[in-house]
């Protein structure tokens, strides 16, 4: 039994180096080209959900000329079922600061910010203490890269990078049009690299181990390990660091309660995979991507209730700026209620799926565009539950 | 100067008058008095050389920046999927019975407000809630009863 278990990895939460800020100090001595080469070689993709190659993002920002540039760590973690960034910031904050400082050096930024969701305000005192130590060390090394924490105020949409900039600048958290992308026009209109908390830690681990060893983990499309947030109907909820590219079936064998009916991969914005597709589904950028959220549902759960809960979430968290999302989220929720009550015929579900698909192409940002992921995967796979 | 004006002057002194200071100032007001009044917003607008509408627009976007009076302790119970599955309803009921208020209401003595909120990032230990900024997880009827009793006894 034990040999069939998924391999546990201890990269992100592994111990600090014996000398404080050693990896940072060593890396700051290297050339920017060298660092970027290692990052490229490692194949690291962003851990915030979208999976953009980190080396390319950094290179773009490095190549954009500007006196002012910024590095921002996205710690807004609001996706339902995700709690790994909180754990990373609690257990290994130094690795996060180090990753940001390395980025600062590579792109030529003067300042870093951590955008911490308001729900995590309780982490502030400890993070500030850790930051003081970091600042002390940096000045000893003769390198100036101050990091500041900015606190959110309870808005999921502010995790979207351009909404996050708006929020930091003191405005409503409404996403901007793209392009321009953050690497040319980010915070304060300046070139900015914004990465997820875990991405910055991965950078530090690549610097420490070298890209070759990092690449030994995962598959060719999904390099390295990933911190998974496991919740729902599981006897062992919690945080697990696992290799990317694993089959969902193995995951369920290990984390399910023996009666798993579906797994929501990637949070409310992600996909719902039904039991019959566990074998063919791979967790990673080549299959179903995830920012780490894995929620398991057993056969006692009504998938109608699950979908209704997601839609309520989107309806409340939509910034309301564009019509497809503002009205679409409402109509989808009202629509499934009407079908369930019998006020609308079951064929109406097909119209709702079309609406969700049109939101995918017409909504302004990732929130509205991704509602169709969970909507269509649940309605398609659990149609009877929507009706009866 | 009224106490409110003092509070806002102090916050402006601490955070400055740039637009980036707006949210930290609003957060500071909420931290002290749990909500931002119309007069606060007008005052802040004056200090930051903005229109009151701009301040109002920003404040009302964020769920933690309440522009309605709230109690001294704001209880926010997570209603997102895994907390919902693991008994959020019982938690709400327990609190409603103890404080004799419904979700969205504040006790007559202005000490407690009960609200629902979206995922708090404690899904593996749900149901979860915040009381002001402090998280409480693994809630059961008994546990939440003890926690609220404790807050009541500290009043
Ligand atoms: C609605 C919405 C919410 C998001 N929330 C987060 C978040 O909480 N944390 C995060 O890292 N990225 C979030 N993202 C993705 C960011 O926009 C951005 O792609 C990411 O921070 C880039 O970091 P990475 O390249 O390291 O993944 C969100 C995107 C959308 C559309
Ligand atoms: S898709 Fe939704 S969240 Fe995104 S900009 Fe439009 S209304 Fe706002
Ligand atoms: S669902 Fe309640 S904390 Fe995440």
Predicted confidence (pLDDT) at residue A213 exceeds the cutoff of 60? yes
Q: How many domains does chain B contain in total?
A: 2
Is the confidence at residue A128, as pLDDT, over 80? yes
B57 and B89 together in one domain: no
Residue A3 has pLDDT above 60, yes or no: no
User: Over chain A, what is the mean pLDDT?
Assistant: 95
**pLDDT of A76-121, one tens digit each?**
999 999 999 999 999 999 999 999 999 999 999 999 999 999 999 9
Answer CATH for A303-387 from 1.10.287.990, 3.40.50.880, 1.20.1440.230, 1.25.40.10: 1.20.1440.230
- Could you say which of B34, B61, B88 is where a domain stops? B61
> For residue B14, is it within any domain?
yes
Q: Is A316 on the interface with B (CB under 8 A)?
A: yes
Tokens of A349: 């579900």
d(CA A97, CA A145): 10
What are the residues whose beta carbons fall under 8 Å from the beta carbon of B87, sequence distance 6 or more? B127, B139, B140
Using 50, 70 and 90 to split pLDDT, how confident is the model at A45? very high
Instruction: Give domain status of residue B67, yes or no.
Output: no
Q: What is the pLDDT of residues B131-146, one digit of tens each?
A: 999 999 999 999 999 9
Question: Please, which residues bridge with residue A230 across strands?
Answer: A238, A294
Q: Per-residue confidence at A2, pLDDT binned at 50, 70, 90? A: very low
Using CA atoms, how far apart are residues A114 and A294, in angstroms rounded to an integer?
Answer: 25
ipTM over 0.90: yes
Nearest residue on chain B to A85, alpha-carbon basis:
B121
Looking at the fold, whether B7 and B42 belong to one and the same domain comes out as: yes
Strand-pair partners of B134: B131
Distance from CA of B29 to the nearest CA of A (A): 13
Last residue of a domain, one of B61, B85, B102: B61
In a shared domain, residues B84 and B105: yes
Q: Which residues line ligand 3 (CB under 6 A)?
A: A 80; B 78, 80-83, 119-123, 126, 128
Residue B66 lies in a domain: no
Q: Which atom of ligand 2 is nearest to the CA of A175?
A: 5
Which ligand is nearest to the Cα of residue A55, counting in written order?
1
What string of DSSP letters covers chain B? --HHHHHHHHHHHHH-SSGGGHHHHHHHHHHHHSS--HHHHHHHHHHHT--HHHHHHHHHH-TTS-SS---SEEEEEE-SHHHHHTTHHHHHHHHHHHHT--TT-B-TTSSEEEEEES--S-GGG-S-EEETTEEE-S--HHHHHHHHHHHHHH-
**pLDDT value at A50 more than 90:** no
Domain map of chain A by residue range? Answer: 2-215, 225-298, 303-387
pLDDT score recorded for residue B26:
98
| B78/B116 same-domain check | yes
Contact A155, B61 (CB under 8 A): yes
- Tokens representing A376? 């269509």
Shared domain for B53 and B120, answered yes or no, is no
- pLDDT tens readout for residues A215-224: 888 877 777 8
- Chain B hits for A233, Cβ within 8 Å: 85
B27 lies in some domain: yes
Mean pLDDT of A164-176: 98
Length of chain B: 155
Structural domain range at position B43? 3-61
Q: Which pLDDT score is estimated for A243?
A: 86
Nearest to B140 by CA among B76, B94, B81: B94
Residue B125 maps to a domain: yes
- Residue having the nearest C-alpha atom to atom 12 of ligand 1: A48
Say if B144 falls within a structural domain: yes
Q: Quick one: what percent of chain A has pLDDT higher than 70?
A: 99
For residue A238, the chain B residues in CB contact (below 8 A) are 124
Interval B7-60: pLDDT, tens: 999 999 999 999 999 999 999 999 999 999 999 999 999 999 999 999 999 999
**Quick check: A81 contacting B, CB < 8 Å?**
yes
Both B52 and B80 in one domain: the answer is: no
The CATH superfamily of A2-215 is NADH-ubiquinone oxidoreductase 51kDa subunit (3.40.50.11540)
For β-strands A246-247 and A282-283, DSSP reports them as antiparallel
Q: Which ligand is nearest to the Cα of residue B81, counting in written order?
A: 3
- Which CATH number is B18's domain given? 1.10.10
A241 in Cβ contact with A11 (< 8 Å): yes
Q: Do B100 and B144 share a structural domain?
A: yes
- Whether B150 and B77 map to the same domain: the answer is yes
Contacts of B125 in chain A (CB under 8 A): 237
**CATH code, B125:** 3.40.30.10
Q: Is B67 left (phi over 0), alpha (psi -120 to 50) or beta?
A: alpha
pTM: 0.97
A156 near B CB under 8 A = yes
pLDDT confidence bin for A4, thresholds 50/70/90: low
SS3 A231: strand
Q: Say if B149 falls within a structural domain.
A: yes
Where does ligand 2 bind, in terms of residues with CB under 6 Å? Answer: A 157, 175, 318-322, 325-326, 363-365, 367-368
How far, CA to CA in Å, does A97 sit from each of A114, A192, A335, A355?
9, 16, 46, 43
- Within-domain flag for B68: no
CA-CA distances (angstroms) from residue A172 to A118, A212, A340, B62? Answer: 15, 43, 36, 8
Matching fold, domains A225-298 and A303-387: no
DSSP, collapsed to helix, strand or coil, labels residue A49 as: coil
- The residue whose CA has the least distance to atom 1 of ligand 2 is A368
Residue A182 has pLDDT above 90, yes or no: yes
Query: Which tens digit of pLDDT belongs to each residue from B76-128?
Result: 999 999 999 999 999 999 999 999 999 999 999 999 999 999 999 999 999 99
pLDDT per residue over A227-281, tens digit each? 999 999 999 999 999 988 889 999 999 999 999 999 999 999 999 999 999 999 9
> What are the chain A neighbours of B64 within 8 Å (beta carbons)?
118, 153-154
B57 plus B77 within the same structural domain: no
Question: Which CATH fold topology does A225-298 show?
Answer: Ubiquitin-like (UB roll) (3.10.20)
Give the C-alpha separation, A178 to A212, whole Å. Answer: 35
pLDDT score for A319: 98
| Cα B131 from Cα B148, distance rounded (Å) | 10
**A214, burial (CB in 10 Å: exposed 0-12, middle 13-18, buried 19+):** buried
DSSP state of A345: -
């Amino acid at each position: 039994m034990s040999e069939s278990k998924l391999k546990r990895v201890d990269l992100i939460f592994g111990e600090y180096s014996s000398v404080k800020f050693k990896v940072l100090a060593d890396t700051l001595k290297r050339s920017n080209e060298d660092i970027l080469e290692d990052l490229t070689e490692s194949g690291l993709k962003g851990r915030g959900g979208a999976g953009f190659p980190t080396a390319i993002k950094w290179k773009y920002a490095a190549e954009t000329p500007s006196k002012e540039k910024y590095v921002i760590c996205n710690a807004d973690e609001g996706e339902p079922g995700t709690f790994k960034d909180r754990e990373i910031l609690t257990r290994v904050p130094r690795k996060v600061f180090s990753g940001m400082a390395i980025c600062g050096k590579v792109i030529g930024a003067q300042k870093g910010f951590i955008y911490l969701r308001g729900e995590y305000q309780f982490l502030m005192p400890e993070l500030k203490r850790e930051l003081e130590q970091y600042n002390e060390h940096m000045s000893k090394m003769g390198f100036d890269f101050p990091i500041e924490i900015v606190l959110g105020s309870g808005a999921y949409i502010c995790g979207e990078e351009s909404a996050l900039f708006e929020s930091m600048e003191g405005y409503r958290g409404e996403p901007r049009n793209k392009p321009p992308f953050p690497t040319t026009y980010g915070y304060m209109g300046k070139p900015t690299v914004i990465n997820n908390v875990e991405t910055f830690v991965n950078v530090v681990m690549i610097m420490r181990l070298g890209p070759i060893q990092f690449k030994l983990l995962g598959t060719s499309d999904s390099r390295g390990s990933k911190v998974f947030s496991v919740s729902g109907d599981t006897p062992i909820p919690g945080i697990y660091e696992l290799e990317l590219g694993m089959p969902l079936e193995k995951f369920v064998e290990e984390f399910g309660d023996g009666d798993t009916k579906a797994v929501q991969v990637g949070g409310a914005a992600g996909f719902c995979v039904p039991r019959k597709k566990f074998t063919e589904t791979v967790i990673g950028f080549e299959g179903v991507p995830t920012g780490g959220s894995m929620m398991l549902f057993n056969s006692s759960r009504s998938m109608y209730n699950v979908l209704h809960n997601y839609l309520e979430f989107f309806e409340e968290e939509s910034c309301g700026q564009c019509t497809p999302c503002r009205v679409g989220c409402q109509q989808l929720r009202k629509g499934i209620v009407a079908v369930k009550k019998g006020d609308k015929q079951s064929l109406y579900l097909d119209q709702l799926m079309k609406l969700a698909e049109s939101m995918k192409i017409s909504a302004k940002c990732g929130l509205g565009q991704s509602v169709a992921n969970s909507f269509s995967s649940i309605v398609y796979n659990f149609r009877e539950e929507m009706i009866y | 100067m009224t106490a409110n004006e003092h509070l806002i002057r102090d916050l402006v002194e601490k955070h400055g008058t740039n637009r980036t200071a707006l949210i930290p100032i609003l957060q500071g007001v909420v931290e002290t008095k749990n909500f931002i009044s119309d007069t606060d917003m007008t005052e802040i607008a004056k200090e930051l050389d903005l229109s009151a509408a701009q301040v109002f627009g920003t404040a009302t976007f964020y769920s933690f920046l309440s522009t309605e009076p709230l109690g001294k302790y704001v209880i926010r119970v997570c209603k997102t999927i895994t907390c919902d599955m693991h008994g959020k309803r019982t938690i709400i009921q327990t609190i409603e019975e103890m404080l004799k208020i419904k979700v969205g209401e504040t006790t007559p003595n202005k000490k407690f407000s009960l609200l629902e909120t979206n995922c708090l990032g404690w899904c593996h230990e749900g149901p979860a809630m915040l009381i002001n900024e402090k998280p409480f997880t693994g809630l059961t009827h008994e546990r939440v009863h003890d926690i609220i009793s404790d807050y009541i006894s500290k009043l």
